[in-house]
Structure 1
Amino acid sequence: MKKIAVDLHYLPNLEWFSSILEAEEILLFPKDDYQRQSYFNRTRILLANKVETLSIPIQGRRPRLPLDQIKIDFSQKWQSVHLRGIQSAYGKAPFFEFFFPYYLPVFENHIESLWDFNHKLLTICLKLLRWPVKVSVFESKPVSSDFLEQRRLIVPSRPFWERNFYQPTAYPQLFGLDFEPNLSILDLLFCMGPEAGNVLQSSAKKE
């Protein structure tokens, strides 16, 4: 069984999913330290005239806090901003009306833990992709080392082409003449529906 240790991201991008394509089990670690400038609280979607980064505000900026202790800041109306952005970006996409209802209740609930929020969204993504991968959460350290370590690799500060996970395979997007690679998995799911898994298969770099 191929096991891969990964970071938990907010509606992960296509590189993240390409990186776990061959995994039978992915390992998540809620006791890892929170890292600023990460994908833990941000994702990218394609609007009519730009790529928009959606960021979830968090309470405080304390370093070395475990990921599962990071709380969402609900004093800011980020939920309505994110939902409006997603609806504006993908409301006319072919599979929006089928897939969006799965996500809406998670956004509408007042989930204080960013870890729990992201985990629920990831579960939905994997379900819609029809991926049978097992997701294991390790609450304590250490854990056996019979896995492939991929944590701290996919970060906003470094472009995807510097890593060996993802090679863009173009698919029809709603906006723009040029294909915009490596957006949130929402872009692929809403645009391609059941074919999303095939696009990811062809987007994974072959060693």
Structure 2
Amino acid sequence: MKLALLFPQFAPNLYDLSIMLQANRIILLDVEQWSRKSRIHRAKIRVPNGSRWINIPLRTEDRKNAVGEVRMDHSEDWVTPLLRTIEYNYRNSIYYDFYEPEIKAEFKSAYDFTYLMDFVLHIQSRLFRFMDINIEYELASEVEEYTSNPNALVESLGADTLFQEHDSRHYQWQAEQKAEPKFEHPEYHQHFENFEPWCSILDILFQFGPESFKITDQLNSQEPQ
């Protein structure tokens, strides 16, 4: 059994999406402490001179809480500038206009949510639906055998392969049994010159739209070492 231990992400990069597609069982770590270095609250997008992060603001007093207990900070309008940033950098992408109304509505729905994780899982499901991807997962809080020690968890669940989040050594307990998937980052045409890897799936969606499978099928075909 291939097990993936990941933090919730509203727009994963292709490495983490590859892990999700290869794993037989995915556990999202809602009981672990939030970290500013994680990508629960942020995603990387393409910009003219490289890439940058878009962020969801969090309530300062919650930043030592478990992921599932962190609340978004709605004291100021953060959705409008975030959407402006996406528009400025993606308005010339082939499918931006096609998805813009729905993406705009989904981000504005953030004000209907109090907790970060609830909103993150909501918008992630919408992005996956747009890309015709189906991902099933469990929350660590609902897994009886769950322990923060990934080595012990692998043993108790009987997993023979363990995947962990990309570049997570600063905030995720790295397991001795951690396996690196056979992953070659797909290189594809972006709307700015040169190719910038490690962008979130927003980059794929706006560039490929209904043909996002041309990229995700490459991830499906990759097998772990």
TM value normalised by structure 2: 0.76
Q: Distance in 2 between matches of 1:67 and 1:115?
A: 7
Q: Distance in 1 between matches of 2:136 and 2:114?
A: 25
SS at match of 2:89: helix
Matched, 1:169 2:186: yes
SS at match of 1:75: coil
SS at match of 1:40: coil
Instruction: Provide the residue aligned with 1:12 in structure 2.
Output: 12
Q: Distance in 2 between matches of 1:86 and 1:156?
A: 29
Q: Distance in 1 between matches of 2:98 and 2:139?
A: 29
Counterpart residue type for residue 98 of structure 1: F
- Contact 2:42-2:56 within 8 A present in 1 as well: yes
Deviations 1:129-179 (A, max 9, x none): 222332333434534624554345443969xxxx54532221111112x11
Deviations 1:8-60 (A, max 9, x none): 12311111111222235422232222123111111111123341211222111
Instruction: Provide the residue aligned with 2:21 in structure 1.
Output: 21
Instruction: Provide the residue aligned with 2:152 in structure 1.
Output: none
Structure 1 residues 48 and 150, CA gap change in structure 2 (3 angstroms): same
Q: Distance in 2 between matches of 1:146 and 1:88?
A: 47
**Looking at CA atoms only, which structure, 1 or 2, has the larger radius of gyration?**
2
Instruction: Provide the residue aligned with 1:142 in structure 2.
Output: 145
Counterpart residue type for residue 194 of structure 1: P
RMSD: 2.7
The Cα of 1:186 is off from its aligned counterpart by: 0.4
Deviations 1:86-106 (A, max 9, x none): 111212211223333333222
Structure 1 residues 63 and 72, CA gap change in structure 2 (3 angstroms): closer
**Runs of 5+ consecutive residues of structure 1 not aligned to the other structure:** none
Matched, 1:155 2:168: yes
Matched, 1:181 2:194: no
Instruction: Provide the residue aligned with 2:115 in structure 1.
Output: 113
The Cα of 1:185 is off from its aligned counterpart by: 0.3
Instruction: Provide the residue aligned with 2:52 in structure 1.
Output: 52
- Contact 2:2-2:162 within 8 A present in 1 as well: no
Counterpart residue type for residue 191 of structure 1: Q
Q: Report the number of matched residues.
A: 202
Q: Percent identity?
A: 23
Deviations 1:99-125 (A, max 9, x none): 333332221120221101110111112
SS at match of 2:138: strand
- Contact 1:170-1:181 within 8 A present in 2 as well: yes
- Contact 2:107-2:123 within 8 A present in 1 as well: no
Q: Distance in 2 between matches of 1:124 and 1:38?
A: 21
Q: Distance in 1 between matches of 2:83 and 2:48?
A: 16
Q: Distance in 1 between matches of 2:85 and 2:46?
A: 9
Structure 1 residues 67 and 157, CA gap change in structure 2 (3 angstroms): closer
Structure 1 residues 46 and 157, CA gap change in structure 2 (3 angstroms): farther
- Higher mean alpha-carbon deviation, 116-125 vs 63-72, is at 63-72
- Contact 1:23-1:133 within 8 A present in 2 as well: no
